[in-house]
Structure 1
Amino acid sequence: MSSPERQPHPNGAETLFAVRGLCRRFGDRAVLDDLSFDVMRGECLVILGRSGSGKSLTLRQLNGLDEAEAGAVLFEGTDLVQLTERQLYPLRRRIAMLFQSAALFDSIDVLENVAFPLREHDRLSEEEIRQRVAGSLAWVGLSGIEDRMPAALSGGMKKRVALARSLVLNPEVMLYDEPTAGLDPVTSATISSLIRNTQREFGTTSVVVTHDLRLARDVGDRVALLDGGRFCFIGTWEQAEENTDPALRAFLEGRQPTAEENIDAA
């Protein structure tokens, strides 16, 4: 499959990811069904959807953690679907992910958790590693906790340590999988601010999977709703408020589509 040239978005932004015709099945169920969308360089795209709709699965396509049966995931024109694990390895330095569970290593302290990507990808002295870890922890507001074990951290602190680990390599892209899941409103607001500030300060491109509408409105430049294996809507929040798609209206209003809306959408 030939890679198309990267095209500018109408607002002047450049396409970073171009997803085309993505299909992913589990048995007879098509979770992703001919899914196509773009992610613009420097934007924050928020992906909404009900539980089990394929939001996290979509996110995992953007760094090659899950392999679709059909379609293309073009990153700067390179199709990730066609790459081997070895070829994906250097790209994952540029595309970091914050997992829903934080995914910290329980048996090592915060220092070694945050240092893990540096030891995997770089050849730095111990002093350089400590400095990079300290800087990353300071960014997420957790200076001086290098010697703590994950079991001694609250849920919000675990998420922030995981974010520090994701940022320690200065990635170009951040993928966030339900970053506020299980957190109280105050801690959720802290995570929201970190996502927003990280994008602004470092110019990262962000894709956020969430069902948290407050977070989505706070950080998203554009929003997309995954329904039936495809995006039934993708656009700005202003466009979302004006759009009459039944699934979108029901999701934003926190309810099930009515029988009449389902008939109209059929």
Structure 2
Amino acid sequence: MIVRLIAACCFFVIANGSVQAEEPRKAQIFAGAFFPFILEQDNEGTPRGLSVDILERISALTGDPIEVKVYPWARAQQLLKQGTVNGLVGPYRSAERDGYMTYSNTHFYEDRMVLLQRKDKPVPWDGDFRSMSSYSILTINGWAYGPEFDAARPLLRTEKVATAAQALLMLRNDQVDLVALNERNALYEIRKEAALEEIEIKEPEFRTVVGYFAFPRENTDHAFQKRFNDALDHLAATGEINQLSARYGLSYIGRVTN
């Protein structure tokens, strides 16, 4: 899907109010995966969601056509690492990702990272993973869970599956004790499968994270990245990200260090 295509002359208008005529630019390809409300597809396969709304506004401000493609999450990250795509939709920061990607100046959504359990088989949880070594925990391939979880991994019985839907199914079938997800995905899957009577989200959350747009660290288009960051910062400063987030029932608190 081409988010916005500007033919003939393009005009880049940003916070300083300057206007500069430019030649038409090539499309910038952003890869992402299905994230409820952040990046979805309609019945025709057209990308939709908060990220697409924001990319449309950035395209309008910078004159850069932007194309969004949806892949499995691990594949989308690999494409960015290889430099096959120009951007990535929605990653949290992690030490591993820092090695091959850079992030937008401003994040555009927030998540609470939580554990899910069966209501008929509750698991004690006080927020400390060091007490969870006797329980099996499902994680999603390619997800970043934060330094606390990563530090505890050697003590834990963890397994990986490809999607949140697969993880919920295994939990409902009593094949695992817990599932580690973000609350947004968890609520989406629980409601979709009408599993509110079976599955619950445990408190407290084990981390609050924010999601960014990202760019390849190697062979990146620095001029585009600057235009993109200026436009995204403008949307944050004017409250447009807040307004767009509200359409999807999502919260946004502005720039933070993560």
**Greater helix share, structure number:** 1
Same fold (TM over 0.5): no
Give TM-score, length-normalised by structure 1: 0.25
